[in-house]
Chain A
Amino acid sequence: MHHDNLLTRKIQGAVDSGRKALIPFVPAGFPSRDRFWDVLLELDSEGADVIEIGVPFSDPVADGPVVEKASIRCLEQGVNLDWIFEGLARYRKDIQAGLVFMGYFNPFLQYGVERLAVACQEAGVSGLIIPDLILEEAEPYREVLKESNLAYIPLVGLNTSQERLQEYAGLYPAFVYVVSVMGITGTKSGSMQVLGDKLRQVQDIFECPVALGFGISSRDQLESIEEHVDAVVFGSALINHLDEGKTPREFMAGWQVPRAFSQRVRAKT
């Protein structure tokens, strides 16, 4: 089991203190190469439990226009894995949150998966979210990732069958990422009933914490499903916020948990 992973501990820590773990997503080099590391540090000090660093790719098929535009802007500024690792060597010690890379497979493949795993371990990156690397295609790389204690974090959706959920659960991931919509990042969510049912199923099948993402822009959205979610991922909403020149602090303030909410969760656990 992978419960010794930092990501699991970070999310569990938030849940134990009666709140949802907060997982902001920022593309590396956004809003600019200079400001990115400040944004990361501020997200961390304002309560992020885990931070997803987006590794930009020219053809991000699972993403909507907001993330795609941001990624291309980062690529145009010359952001690549070497640049990210250089920055982490300098700033990782000042960041409390767990870190994961979110990116498409090809840049990782070209870097070399084994080399990547070693570099991640040295840089303090604890997991990978790769939206185009499903169960079967991840198989050849599982051992290499395990050796560096780098978690493969599965994405599952509203149309993922019970059998496939069980196969993913059998990998004992650090956490599981539930895609809240039948669409791309930034899509408006559909029926809360359907989502609630799927979350309940995921919660039953997986031993690890459950994170919810894609199209999450406000806390109100979670009201009817909060008991089935341990962590919340937000990307497009945060990117839009930063793009307007606003600070990470203002964004995170909207997610600080009011007392009543946390007490309700605490009473349950």
Chain B
Amino acid sequence: MRKGYFGAFGGRFVPELLVPPLAELEEAMDNILPAEAFVEDMDRVGREFVGRPTPLYPCRNLTAELGFDVYLKREDLAHTGAHKINNTVGQALLARHMGKSCLLAETGAGQHGVATATAAAMLGLDCIVFMGALDVQRQSINVHRMELMGARVEPVESGTRTLKDAINAALRYWIAHQSDTHYCLGSAVGPHPFPLLVRKLQSVIGRESRQQMLEQTGELPDTVVACVGGGSNAIGMFHPFVEDRQVELVGVEAGGRGGPGDHHSATISRGTPGVLHGTHTFLLQSKEGQILPSHSVAPGLDYPGVGPEHSFLKDSSRARYEVIHDREALKAFNLLSRKEGIIPALESAHAVAWAVENRDSIKPGSKVLINLSGRGDKDLDIVREQME
């Protein structure tokens, strides 16, 4: 396989000016990440600060309702309420080992921005976050959170004024500030080595889950389900199960409202391969290669690309990718809240919804492990709006 590629996907499609900092990061990933001192740091910070390991929860009520065993990996209980923190503390520690004094991040709805600001505050690093101007308006509480923790939030006025434009702005900023700044990219997307680095840092989800399943049930799950936007929670969950060929892997993409002509975020299911943000992967694009707007009720799934390793898992048939629409996700959001006393993030509700919607085709008694990647407090305004 070519370096930096997952089959035909991945690569490093960036301006030449970004080659030196990416090479520097790759070297750090290869040398610092596996070093004993770094592994110990990660374990300690994971335990003391992030709250790892997160629990594996058997959903007794949902199991009774659906007729198969449902297990939730509770990433919603990690600090800041989502899996995003696994990546940001890892990259922040790496940045400090590399001698960088500033963390740079993009954010869509603000979850990754908050997680980066959190890690930066904990390690005493400066932090600058680019956020689409439209998202700054829509997610003012997250802007406030980031600022409380000392981050500078820069609204991005270009393009569609959302996540993809925030990534463009962050890449541009990084070109000019690469000597003292580490770009803490928020998902398993972007140029090599980011998809690999983010997967390595998020794989703690799958490693813990695998061990917890074996300890609690004596068996591996039959099916592992995770929502896919950029795909960092899903790749972190899937990767430790890839060699367990009997375990079915299901990535759930956001279908949006689902009407004819409506925007959606089902990149792998309905997109085509192309190059965006430094990587060759499935995209939502016109036949002329212009990037199309995406949509989902879940802000964290609202992205017109996807991590290249997911494109590879799809291409090689190791994982399959399914589509869940806004209304099904909202139904699952309510169901999990009501039945289990767990309010899921709208993103994670897509994964739950897949299990609910496929209840008739899932074998009774089988074990379904769902990554509950985040908690839903952040989404209450959206849910209220949608219910009206």
CA distance A156 to B18 in the complex (A): 11
A187 to B172, CA, bound (A): 11
A109 vs B283: C-alpha distance in the bound complex, in angstroms? 13
The reply to whether A72 and B159 contact each other, CB–CB distance below 8 Å, is yes
Q: Is A124 an interface residue (CB 8 A)?
A: no
Closest to A110 in B: B289
Q: How near does chain A come to B276, taking the closest CB pair, in angstroms?
A: 6
Q: Select one of A57, A62, A157, A164 contacting B289, CB under 8 A.
A: A57
Determine if A157 and B16 form an interchain contact, defined as CB atoms under 8 angstroms apart. Answer: yes
Question: Among the interface residues A65, A110, A155, A157, which one has the most CB atoms of the partner chain B within 10 A?
Answer: A110
Q: Which residues of B contact A104 (CB under 8 A)?
A: 275
For B289, what are the chain A residues with a Cβ–Cβ distance below 8 Å?
57, 106-111
Q: Is the interface of A mostly helix, strand, loop or mixed?
A: loop
Interface residues on B, range: 20 to 34
Size of the A side of the interface (Cβ < 8 Å), in residues, is 42
Pick from B11, B20, B168, B274 the residue with the most CB of A within 10 Å. Answer: B168
- A183 and B175 contact, Cβ closer than 8 Å, known pairs A58-B290, A72-B159: yes
Residues in B neighbouring A80, C-beta threshold 8 A? 288
**Cβ of B319 to closest chain A Cβ, rounded Å:** 25
Across the interface, name the chain A residue whose C-beta is closest to B291. Answer: A58
Chain B residues with Cβ under 8 A from A137's Cβ?
Answer: 11-13
Whether the pair A59, B276 counts as a contact (CB closer than 8 A) is yes
Q: Do A159 and B17 touch (CB < 8 A)? A: yes
**Which residues of chain B from 179 to 232 have a CB within 8 Å of any chain A CB?**
none
| CB contact list, B330-350 vs A, under 8 A | none
Stretch at the interface among A43-51, A85-93, A126-134, A242-250: A126-134
Residue of B nearest to A184 (CB): B172
Other CB < 8 Å A-B pairs besides A69-B158, A109-B274, 4 of them? Answer: A59-B164, A110-B274, A154-B16, A182-B178
Q: Is B131 an interface residue (CB 8 A)?
A: no
A136 CB within 8 Å of chain B: yes
Query: Which residues in chain A, 51-70, are within 8 Å of chain B measured between CB atoms?
Result: 57-62, 64-65, 68-69
Chain B nearest CB from A53 CB (Å) reads 16
B132-179 interface (Cβ within 8 A of A): 158-159, 164-165, 168, 171-172, 175-176, 178
Q: Residue on B with the closest CB to A57? A: B290
B15 CB–A CB distance under 8 Å: yes
Given contacts A58-B290, A58-B291, A59-B159, A110 and B176 within 8 Å (CB-CB): no
B17 touches A157 (CB 8 A): yes
Indicate if the CB atoms of A155 and B15 lie closer than 8 Å.
yes
Docked-complex contact A106 and B16, CB < 8 angstroms: no
Task: Check if B294 is an interface residue, CB within 8 A of chain A.
Answer: no
Bound Cα distance from A146 to B168, whole angstroms: 32
Of residues 275 through 300 on chain B, the ones whose CB sits less than 8 Å from some CB of chain A are 275-278, 283, 285, 287-291
CA distance A62 to B16 in the complex (A): 10
Question: Do A132 and B17 have beta carbons less than 8 Å apart?
Answer: no
* A109-140 at interface with B (beta carbon < 8 Å): 109-111, 131-134, 136-137
> When the two chains form the complex, which single residue of A64, A75, A132, A179 contacts B290, counting CB atoms closer than 8 Å?
A75
Interface contact B278-A132, CB-CB below 8 Å: yes
Among A81, A137, A187, which residue has the most Cβ atoms of chain B within 10 A? Answer: A137
Q: A187: which B residues are within 8 A, CB to CB?
A: 176
Asked if B275 contacts A106 (CB within 8 A), the reply is yes
**A73 to B: closest C-beta gap in Å:** 13
Q: CB of A251 within 8 A of chain B?
A: no
Residues of B within 8 A of A154 (CB): 16
The smallest C-beta distance from A236 to any residue of chain B, in angstroms, reads 14
Contacts of A182 in B (CB 8 A): 17, 175-176, 178
Known: A57-B289, A61-B168, A107-B289. A160 touches B19 (CB 8 A): yes
- Contact string against A for B residues 1-45, beta-carbon threshold 8 Å, 1 for contact and 0 otherwise: 000000000011111110110000000000000000000000000
A-side contacts of B16, CB under 8 Å? 134, 154-157, 160, 164, 179
Contact flag A111-B288 (CB < 8 Å), given A59-B168, A59-B277, A137-B12: yes
Residues of B near A110 (CB, < 8 A) are: 274, 285, 287-289
Nearest B residue (CB) for A177: B16
Q: Does A263 contact B (CB under 8 A)?
A: no
Bound Cα distance A59, B132 (Å): 14
Bound together, the chains give a CA A107 to CA B176 distance in angstroms of 26
